[in-house]
Amino acid sequence: MDIGTAKPTAEEQRLATHHMIDVVDPDEHYDAALFAAQADEVISSLGGKGVLPVVAGGTGLYVKALIHGLSEAIPSDKAVSERLEAEVADLGPAALHARLAQVDPGYAAKISSNDPVRIVRALSVYEVTGKPLSAHHTEHAFAESRYDALKICLFSDRETLYDRINRRVDLMVEEGLLDEVRALLAKGYHRGLKSMGSIGYRHMVEHLEDGVSWEETVRLLKRDTRRFAKRQLTWFRSDTEMTWLAPGDTDGLFSAVEEFII
């Protein structure tokens, strides 16, 4: 999964040592807790060598899990989840999303009606605990910081950001995203996997297996990526510790890093 994840190129990896790339297969379970555990090991190793690590990426929950840790896992039940997964296969995710909207409208509004993994998880939590997943999230209290971290978020005006997103999608298509997904499907990585339901991969699967036109596929991929970026910004804006910088503001970046280190 190279193109759709914007994996650093060989040249980029030559210029700066990268860690935690190619650490999991598309059909393996992976979550924020596993990420934090693996990142802890890398950070510890680098710290022992006097190296200051840079954590780069845009998934807010993973960053928060690393810096603050996660509370005890919200309870679920394997049997309930398997039954709900069978219902998704029979009725389709939209039907269960509608059911979720009745018991947890707040969470349902945040996720796609074509996201079976999150839909099943939310319904399973509700059936097992009798409480919506959104309520669990509200009660979720993060611990004090596990690391002393400088958090930086790059921000452009909406027109510039959306233009960059659209051009990025065009570039991924030119680089062969469709062929990448076709090869993954041929290896048995089906659309029901969490990895194959992510932005870009899901859209290519819908084109290949559902007959969505190519023009519509690209349009939806651009739209959904823009929506994802908007959700990212909403998440990071709620973080009072965030330092906001414009792309290319190297003076501001160096100043913030120097102040942090000193």
**Matching CATH topology for 78-139 and 150-262?**
no
Judge whether residue 115 has pLDDT over 90: no
Lowest mean pLDDT among 140-144, 145-149, 236-240: 140-144
Q: Break the chain into its structural domains and give their ranges.
A: 78-139, 150-262
Q: Which CATH number fits domain 150-262: 1.20.1050.140, 1.10.443.10, 3.40.630.30, 1.10.287.890?
A: 1.10.287.890
**Residue 172 pLDDT level (bands cut at 50, 70, 90):** very high
**Residue 109 pLDDT level (bands cut at 50, 70, 90):** very high
> What's the mean pLDDT when you consider all of the chain?
90
3-state secondary structure the chain: CCCCCCCCCHHHHHHCCCCCCCCCCCCCCCCHHHHHHHHHHHHHHHHHCCCCCCCCCCCHHHHHHHHHCCCCCCCCCHHHHHHHHHHHHHHCHHHHHHHHHHHCHHHHHHCCCCCHHHHHHHHHHHHHHCCCHHHHHHHCCCCCCCCCCCEEEECCCHHHHHHHHHHHHHHHHHHCHHHHHHHHHHCCCCCCCCHHHCCCHHHHHHHHHHCCCHHHHHHHHHHHHHHHHHHHHHHHHCCCCEEEECCCCHHHHHHHHHHHHC
Task: Calculate what percentage of the chain has a pLDDT beyond 70.
Answer: 95
Q: Give the pLDDT confidence score for residue 75 in this predicted structure.
A: 67
Encode pLDDT of 84-99 as tens digits.
999 998 999 999 999 9
Q: Which CATH number fits domain 78-139: 2.40.30.110, 1.20.1260.10, 3.40.640.10, 1.10.20.140?
A: 1.10.20.140
**Residue 68 pLDDT level (bands cut at 50, 70, 90):** confident
Q: Is the pTM of this model over 0.75?
A: no
